[in-house]
Amino acid sequence: MRGLPVPRAALAGLERYNPEAGACPLDVSDNTSLWGPSPAAERAVRLVSAQSISRYPPADPRALCAALADYAGVTPEQVVTGCGSDDVIDCTLRAFAEPGEAVAFCAPTFSMLPTFARVNGLRPHGVPFRPDGDLDVEALLSARARITYVASPNNPTGREASARALEQLLASAEGLVLVDEAYGEFAERSWVPSLQRFPHLLITRTLSKAFGLAGLRVGYGLGAERVVAALALVRGPYKVNAVAERAALAALTEDLPWVRARTAEARDVRERLAAELRRVGLSPLPSGANFLCIPVAHAASWGARLLARGVRVRVLRALPGLGDALRIGVGPWDSMEVVLAALRAVVAEGLR
């Protein structure tokens, strides 16, 4: 009798992505939209016919690429879609790095990036952020990596990379620079206009956050035509399902004013929430995203006590350079008042 197949050595020690789940009155742990999907997208989902879901969607969704190109200010040939922006990131590592080569990034960042690197046979090369929270460009460049990854705004800290640092990185990096703008709509700056100057720049974005379509998993990449063509070879067909495509098209063509209004509201709520947290005695980090990261000691205890009060936050343990922290997604102010009431109660118990 043959023995069980042995997984690749690169998988040793990896853990499945498994965020805390379960029923909770108010879940602000995953940075998705608490305003829900755009109205046009919701209508589009309801109107999907049984016939359309019994057939394959377009292998290469050109109508969606055209709508995304119009939204981003690029040509359709500069757009590639995927099953969430993490799918595009995963494809990028396969398309532009050979097994054994390095992927450089500042840590902490998107938790799946090192995992994607390892399962693709690459070497994750994390370096600390500078003490001021900005990219350590010299450390990133010294890795001489085939791919350098930058999330701006960064997850889980919420900080945006400075223009000075990213310009320096783009001017000097030897390989591809992947800028993850999953939270780009909430930030001060997008790097999409820089695509014209830097052909080795790839930007990944998503409709999961500002557009409220996280459950439909629509992501996309923006880059030079040759970069996008390579990604299209790697990703395979049918990565955006028929329901997701229709909802995304509806949101992009009918509901941009709604999306922009909710995005502006999220930024206002974020700053208001940060001010209230400081009054409670907490110290949220500066954020350009739709969430706040709050360094605390004993984050697991904070998370458990907040959960007991009906509020789920993301508990972050032993972040490089930060230690424990809580991550709180922002939403309509009435929901933030519930979060604040729970936090005030925990502070009153003496937990710091």
Inside any domain, residue 165? yes
Whether residues 321 and 335 fall in one domain: yes
pLDDT for the residue 283: 96
Structural domain that includes position 301 = 23-36+257-348
Please compute the mean of the pLDDT values over residues 328-338 and round it to a whole number: 97
- Count up the domains in the chain and report the number: 2
Residue 221 pLDDT level (bands cut at 50, 70, 90): very high
For the stretch 257-313, pLDDT in tens is 999 999 999 999 999 999 999 999 999 999 999 999 999 999 999 999 999 999 999
Residue type, 90: D
Inside any domain, residue 261? yes
Check pLDDT > 80 for residue 18.
no
Whether residues 63 and 202 fall in one domain: yes
Contacts of 169 (CB under 8 A, 6+ apart): 135, 137, 140, 141, 148, 150, 177
Contacts of 237 (CB under 8 A, 6+ apart): 56, 59, 60
For the stretch 69-83, pLDDT in tens is 999 999 999 999 999
Whether residues 250 and 264 fall in one domain: no
Inside any domain, residue 11? no
Check pLDDT > 70 for residue 225.
yes
Single residue among 254, 285, 304 that ends a domain in this structure: 254
The end-to-end CA distance of the chain, in Å, is 58
Whether residues 181 and 269 fall in one domain: no
- Could you give the CA distance from residue 116 to residue 72 in angstroms, rounded to a whole number? 26
Whether residues 92 and 50 fall in one domain: yes
Inside any domain, residue 10? no
Count the Cβ atoms, other than its own, within 10 Å of residue 16: 5
Mean pLDDT check: name the lowest of 14-18, 245-249, 318-322: 14-18
Beta bridge partners of 326: 294, 315
Single residue among 254, 282, 299 that ends a domain in this structure: 254
CATH number at residue 279: 3.90.1150.10
Place of tokens 């390579």: 230
Inside any domain, residue 18? no
Instruction: Choose the most confident range, by mean pLDDT, from 31-35, 42-46, 201-205.
Output: 201-205
Whether residues 55 and 175 fall in one domain: yes
* 119 within 8 A of 248, measured Cβ to Cβ: no
pTM of the model: 0.95
CATH number at residue 100: 3.40.640.10
Whether residues 271 and 202 fall in one domain: no
Whether residues 324 and 188 fall in one domain: no
Inside any domain, residue 15? no
Rg over alpha carbons for the chain, rounded to the nearest Å, is: 20
Single residue among 233, 254, 275 that ends a domain in this structure: 254
Inside any domain, residue 1? no
- Could you give the CA distance from residue 227 to residue 336 in angstroms, rounded to a whole number? 41
pLDDT for the residue 126: 97
β-strand 176-180 against 147-151: which pairing, if any?
A: parallel
- Could you give the CA distance from residue 59 to residue 239 in angstroms, rounded to a whole number? 8
- Could you give the CA distance from residue 131 to residue 112 in angstroms, rounded to a whole number? 24
Percent of the chain scored above 90 by pLDDT?
87
Count, residues in the chain: 352
Whether residues 236 and 286 fall in one domain: no
Helix axes 242-254, 256-280, angle to 10 degrees: 90
Residue 8 pLDDT level (bands cut at 50, 70, 90): confident
Distances (CA, A) of 185 to 217, 269, 345, 352: 17, 15, 33, 33
Task: At 269, give phi and psi (nearest 5°).
Answer: -65, -40
pLDDT for the residue 10: 79
Whether residues 272 and 300 fall in one domain: yes
Whether residues 274 and 286 fall in one domain: yes
pLDDT for the residue 1: 53
- Could you give the CA distance from residue 324 to residue 106 in angstroms, rounded to a whole number? 17
Whether residues 193 and 232 fall in one domain: yes
Inside any domain, residue 82? yes
Q: Outline where the chain has alpha helix (H).
A: 39-46, 50-53, 62-72, 85-96, 112-119, 137-142, 163-172, 225-235, 242-254, 256-280, 299-308, 333-348
